Amino acid sequence: MSLLQIFPGLSKVMRHGGTHLTHAAGVQGSELTSLVSSVFLNRDALMNVNCIKPSNASGSSLEGESIKRTAPEDLKVPLKKSKLPTTRIDRISTFAGLAFALLTSPSSSKSTVLSSYLRRLRGGALKLGQMLSLQDTTVLPVEWSKALDNLRNKADAMPEEELKEIFKREWGVGIEDVNGGNVVGFNRRVEEGGLGEGADRDHWLLDYCSIPDSHVLKMSTSGSPVTVGDIKSIRPQAFASASIGQVHLATLKDDSHLILKVQYPDILTSITNDIANLQGLIRYMNVVPKGVFLDSIIEQGVREVEGECDYEREQRGMARYRSLLEGDPELKALGFQIPKVVPGLTTKRILVTEYAYGVTIDKCEGMSQEVRDNIGRGVLRLTLLELFVWRFMQTDPNWGNFLYDEVTGLTTLIDFGGVRKFDRSFVEGYLEIVMAAADGNEDKLMSKSIDMGFLDGNESQIMLDAHLGAGLVLGEPFRTKGSYDFGSSAITSRIGGHAKVFSQHRTQPPPPEVYTLHRKLAGAFLLCTKLKCDFECRELLDEVWERVRKGDVEV
């Protein structure tokens, strides 16, 4: 198969001139060496915007008392920068270069080549790679799973000139003006159309457009909401980057800190073409088994990445989620929280929130059993509430979206670009399957799975046995009397063993919502396993079941 067959429209690129293809056609050995070094040295910092060694500042409080806190230093090895290919010709030619590099590279380096190119492309291509990385390693080849997993928050950063253009377009004020103390006004960009207008995926947010005053970050000196004039400096060097944007630190005049998430230029326009091109490449390389149903994963990936491109939508989602979380006494007692927002500085392309301290929760393995159990219990409780009571979920189970602060004992949730609401009838049907698994009721588990569209009833016996086996393993923590020892359970690998059968013998894709719901619940179990948590799970599920049965859920 030729490159022209893999990527529709490539012939047009070649006719426009060979320089595009020549520029994109390969990855130099020195570039790969530099990239691998940078990723290794920045591994913890890149996992999340707050995993950086501190220097000097003040911030959070504990039991009403102010605590002297620190601000992150610049990365010792700065993020690799590259200009985002924005035109259709540029992006198709970059995909052509990826295909050429994969076709001509030895097997041992193909995964490195793939991750390098997807980091450069960002956008829909990187998002789909991240979604595929969430498939169990028994489904994808090991080297591809590792390469795709390395894509999390490790995209190239944009050059400084592109960054300056975005600030001037969105704020009407450049970074150099803010840092030079020359801010004389603020021209916040206003998009045409009302909030959520014309976008079906936003219809459920229209009831939650307002942001309560208590959710808004205010200056400690004046008690008034933060404005651009309150910013003392903005660091032009990004210290984290992902599929849609990159993150910068700003310091206020009271020495507290802001997080600025800045979107890559014209990233939304690239999504459809990118995913079609990557889909063609994946099919050609034949790395995804037919039972994974790549088209269904792609459809969900497109929906998620489109929603993440509107930062005003994300801020409204944060406000709604914060209200729900604050309404749960146990989560508050466990110290779970969400950063305050800065609506006066947020646009569709720049998101501004308060800075959250801590390390990603997967770095808490060496902490006490009590701390680890509290984190795991909180994450599992939060997941069950999201799934069945709130029906309003932050869809990405990435551990980097939870930060544990050992000083205050607080766990902060970040990154709400993927929040979405679910249909009540579907999640209640899904809860019945989970309860059947928790009760060991095999007949109900299977019959409800057919009713819900997980199975069509015509599958082979090996597929039916794998579905039942996976369901029973999923229900094991809730079926166990007393505390459940995740550390010795091997629960995720056992589920993965059944998933390998799914990838070969599934006859129809599961309901689309399941890609999110399953991923979130499995992510909670995986975290509890990594932290070797040991706590009672059944009481959490029973509480949720009772609330749903009584109708004590969000409408």
The pair of three-digit structure tokens given for residue 118, joined into one six-digit string: 């997807």
Q: Tell me, yes or no, if 396 is annotated catalytic.
A: yes
Task: List the strands of the sheet with 336-337, edge to edge.
Answer: 336-337, 410-413, 402-405, 359-360
Higher pLDDT, 122 or 460: 460
Question: How many CB atoms are closer than 10 A to CB 51?
Answer: 21
Rounded to whole angstroms, the Cα distance separating 251 from 230 reads: 9
Q: Helix, strand, or coil here: 419?
A: strand
Rounded to whole angstroms, the Cα distance separating 413 from 399 reads: 10
- Determine the average pLDDT of the residues in 247-262: 93
- Whole-model pTM: value is 0.78
Beta strand pairing call for 336-337 and 410-413: parallel
Least confident of 137-146, 181-190, 421-430, 461-470: 137-146
Rounded to whole angstroms, the Cα distance separating 489 from 506 reads: 26
pLDDT 10s digits, 35-92: 323 332 333 333 333 333 333 334 454 455 556 666 667 666 667 777 766 667 777 7
pLDDT band at residue 514 using 50, 70 and 90 as cut-offs? confident
pLDDT band at residue 30 using 50, 70 and 90 as cut-offs? very low
Q: Which amino acid is at 470?
A: A
Q: In 113-136, which positions are buried (b, 16+ CB within 10 angstroms) versus exposed (e)? A: bbbbbbbbbbbbbbbbbbbbbbbb
CA dihedral of 394, 395, 401, 402, whole degrees rounded to 10: 60
pLDDT band at residue 32 using 50, 70 and 90 as cut-offs? very low
Rounded to whole angstroms, the Cα distance separating 154 from 266 reads: 19
Predicted confidence at residue 47, as pLDDT, reads: 32
pLDDT band at residue 221 using 50, 70 and 90 as cut-offs? confident
The DSSP secondary-structure symbol of 437 reads: H
Q: Of 90, 136, 274, 396, which residue is the catalytic one?
A: 396
pLDDT 10s digits, 113-162: 777 777 777 766 666 665 555 544 445 566 666 666 665 556 778 888 88
Chain centroid, CA 339 distance in Å: 17
- Determine the average pLDDT of the residues in 236-245: 83
pLDDT 10s digits, 370-427: 999 999 999 999 999 999 999 988 877 778 889 999 999 999 999 888 788 888 889 9
First-to-last alpha carbon distance for the chain, in angstroms, is: 52
The pair of three-digit structure tokens given for residue 53, joined into one six-digit string: 């060694």
pLDDT 10s digits, 160-181: 888 999 998 898 888 888 888 8
DSSP-derived secondary structure for 119-141: HHH-HHHHHHHHHHHTS-TTTS-
Element (H, E) at 404: strand 402-405
Rounded to whole angstroms, the Cα distance separating 78 from 157 reads: 9
- Determine the average pLDDT of the residues in 431-446: 96
The DSSP secondary-structure symbol of 511 reads: P
Does pLDDT of 26 surpass 90? no
193 close to 281: Cβ distance less than 8 angstroms: no
Say what percent of the chain tops pLDDT 70. Answer: 72
Query: Where do we find the tokens 């939508």?
Result: 313
381 close to 255: Cβ distance less than 8 angstroms: no
